A and B are shown apart, each in its own frame.
Chain A
Amino acid sequence: MVMWIRFRWFAVWIPLFLLWPIVLIIWLLLLPFVMLSMLVTGRIARFWRVIRLTLAAYEMVCATRGLRIDVRNDRTTFQISLI
């Protein structure tokens, strides 16, 4: 998935597919600490909720594929598209 952001004078191209491996590594590194902290505070039942919430957030990001917002007037141009 690639994100394009265009303003009047410049455009930004963000390759989101390159970010996913980095996000996954960070998530896997943080996961033991989250689990440990929930174990210590006695809220281990919420751990699965955190996992499901993370997966739902990922699903939400994936669902944005095809989103396109294009707003122009005499003074401003803004465009964002996810392809």
Chain B
Amino acid sequence: MTTERIQILEMLSAGKISVAEAERLLQLTTEVSGRAADGSSLPAVPQRVADPRFIRIIVEPVKGTDHTNPLHHVNIRVPLKIVRAGVNLASLIPGEAGQVVQGSLLKTGYASDISKLDGSALDELIEALQELSIDATVDNHTVKVFVE
């Protein structure tokens, strides 16, 4: 057990911090040690998040490789509330306008019918997102997609 973790547990037992704060601090120390272990500055990809609030997309160039193309740094955090609000908004789009939206989505390769996405399907989608974890290397860049 690391010194930081012992300190957190001592603070918890002394009543200086709450259980929720201790959990958060312990999670942070795990993330930091994970980063130190793989030698990258990227956050560790969590395995499963019970109550996901954000989708994170991080792209960083791989260290120590010869880059001939431009280096890209991307850090995107999208609140999951947008998905729920978007479905509510989409359900109110009138028929003709909905067909135009559906046509545009088809052109971009999204073949699903958004008008059929109701509350229960959305809950299933968000539940499935709890295990979303993509960690790949593409064109000398590390790509991480996960929920937090």
Interface residues of chain A, those whose CB is within 8 Å of chain B, are 49, 52-53, 56-57, 59-60, 62-75
A74 to B73, CA, bound (A): 9
A69 to B76, CA, bound (A): 4
A66 to B75, CA, bound (A): 13
Query: Does B103 make an interface contact (CB < 8 A)?
Result: no
Interface size on B, residues (CB 8 A): 22
Interface residue from B53, B72, B78, B85 paired with A60 (Cβ < 8 Å): B85
Interface SS majority for chain B: mixed
Apart from A60-B82, A71-B73, A74-B70, what are 5 other A-B pairs with CB-CB below 8 Å? A52-B92, A56-B92, A66-B77, A66-B79, A69-B77
Q: Cβ of A65: which chain B residues have Cβ within 8 Å of it? A: 79, 81
- Contact mask B53-71 → A, CB, 8 Å, 1/0? 1100000000000000011
| A67 and B72 within 8 A (CB) | no
Q: Cβ of A71: which chain B residues have Cβ within 8 Å of it? A: 72-75
Given known contacts A59-B85, A63-B82, A70 and B92 CB-to-CB distance under 8 angstroms: no
- Closest 8 A-B residue pairs measured CB to CB? A63-B81, A63-B85, A70-B75, A68-B77, A72-B73, A60-B85, A56-B89, A66-B79
